[in-house]
Amino acid sequence: MSSLAPVFNILARIMVGYAALLLVPMAWAWQLDAPAMVDVWLYSMAITLVLGLTLWLLTSRFHRELMPRDGFLLVNLVWTVLPACSAIPLVLAIDGLSWTDAYFETMSGLTATGSTVISGLDALPVSVNVWRCFLQLIGGLGVILLVVAVLPLLGLGGVQLYKAETPGPMKDARLTPRIAETARGLWSVYFVFSTVCMLAYHQAGMSWADAFMHMCSTMGLGGFSSHDASFGFWNSRDIELVAIFFMALSGISFARYFIVWRSRSFRSMWRDTEVRAYVFVLLGSALGLAALLLFHGSVEQPLVALRTAAFHVVSIATTTGYAATDFSLWPVFAPVWMMFLGTFVSCAGSTGGGIKMVRMVLLIKQSRRELVRAIHPRVVNPVTLGHTTIPATMIAAVMAYMLIYGASTIGLTMLMLLTGLDITTAFFAIVATMNNIGIGLGDVGPAANFGVLTDFQTWICVVSMLLGRLELLAVIVLFVPQFWRK
């Protein structure tokens, strides 16, 4: 255990810093909730601080530079321990909420999944809803990415953490020479976009509290809402247009915005193969589903059909998970197609989930390459992205990832079926949580939530969310025997 103590020491420091984030919901409770709610946040902060400081003292004698293995271990510890700390105020504030459901809710928040087990959101204290949504802002770019920005101050390396946490296959690309500078740059872009998003929501008709909460869940592509009806609560064209715009922006790599800002040119944005594919898929799907809704009579007015289709396509495809209507009642192709989009459309480096568009592009290019080789065995036809030739090792890594992704989805679905769930609910519950979409079909569709699941089924979904947020390999590597050998 002494070899792992430095990792737990860093975890302890993160917990102490994390306790300070409880000041955000406490401030809202001070203004808008009953005085007793302020005590809930004080108690929760005290418990988190005591646990963090105790662990810090027990491991304070152990210091060393983090190794790659430590990075993976720390990432997994952070993404399992912090949801537990986050669940404490929910258990204290919501009568009858079990620890399983509270942990599910906060794991869903920090992983920016957006699945919920709580009904009666409109009646909850404002600060509780603020905390749920604020977790998605934190989890959007990743708690670890934020910590990387301050790790140099602690005399610790952050490269291993950045590689383990960063979504997408191209983890070695840096925007700046120093990893901490990269992290600060990404968070700066994130903060600016978030501020503009909140102001836009308020201008479109939301209260300041709702604007803050929905900014958090929009920029984090999480999808939590302060209302059971989600965006159906307002039924507002302007609010939905704001949501569409910022969800679409958040589905693109924040690294790409950082590059645009530094180069003062949008040329690099449009030259990005992944971004072009992302835009074309969203536009094509929105137009196609609008035509489908009109053809089947689900919506009668063309502009309303386009607005409705665009909102839900962007919401599900970017893995946000907002809903303005029960789209499960649409022609069956529509909801299934949107769920399929949610598995791959978001760009690597965005706050979205799924396998990422760049992997899908590489898979399609590799498939086309193999078809050409079948006809012309000696042809030289490398896989490229833009003007860059993709090495065979990266293609192999993508293929391995897809194999593990498929096996994990099937395995967890079969486990859900073993508990007695119907096939639609079981499969789409895993698809929704594995890809951090948040909203599924069947009994976990837009008109219901995950509160219908048993505790065991809920824990399966918790594991699925963790696997999806850390892109499978960062979690599964812990179960490889070689990982624990010196």
What secondary structure does DSSP assign to 311-371, as a single string? HHHHHHHTT----SS-GGGS-THHHHHHHHHHTT-SPTTSS--SS-HHHHHHHHHHHHHHH
**Contact partners, residue 270, CB within 8 Å, separation at least 6:** 276
Which pLDDT value is given to residue 166? 56
* Rounded Cα gap, residues 142 and 123, in angstroms: 30
Which pLDDT value is given to residue 151? 43
Residues of the chain with pLDDT under 70: 1-2, 143-180, 486
pLDDT one-digit tens code per residue, 294-311: 999 999 899 999 999 999
Exposure pattern of 139-161 as b/e (b: 16+ CB <10 Å)? bbbbbbbbbbbbbeeeebbbbbb
Q: Which two tokens stand for residue 287?
A: 């137009």
Which pLDDT value is given to residue 149? 46
Coil, strand or helix at 438: coil
What is the distance of C-alpha 462 from the center of its chain? Answer: 13
H or E segment and range at residue 81: helix 68-93
Strand partners, 385: 388
* Rounded Cα gap, residues 10 and 357, in angstroms: 33
* Rounded Cα gap, residues 314 and 218, in angstroms: 11
Which pLDDT value is given to residue 157? 45
Which pLDDT value is given to residue 155? 43
**Contact partners, residue 197, CB within 8 Å, separation at least 6:** 215, 218, 219, 242, 246
H or E segment and range at residue 385: strand 384-385
Place of tokens 């003007």: 387
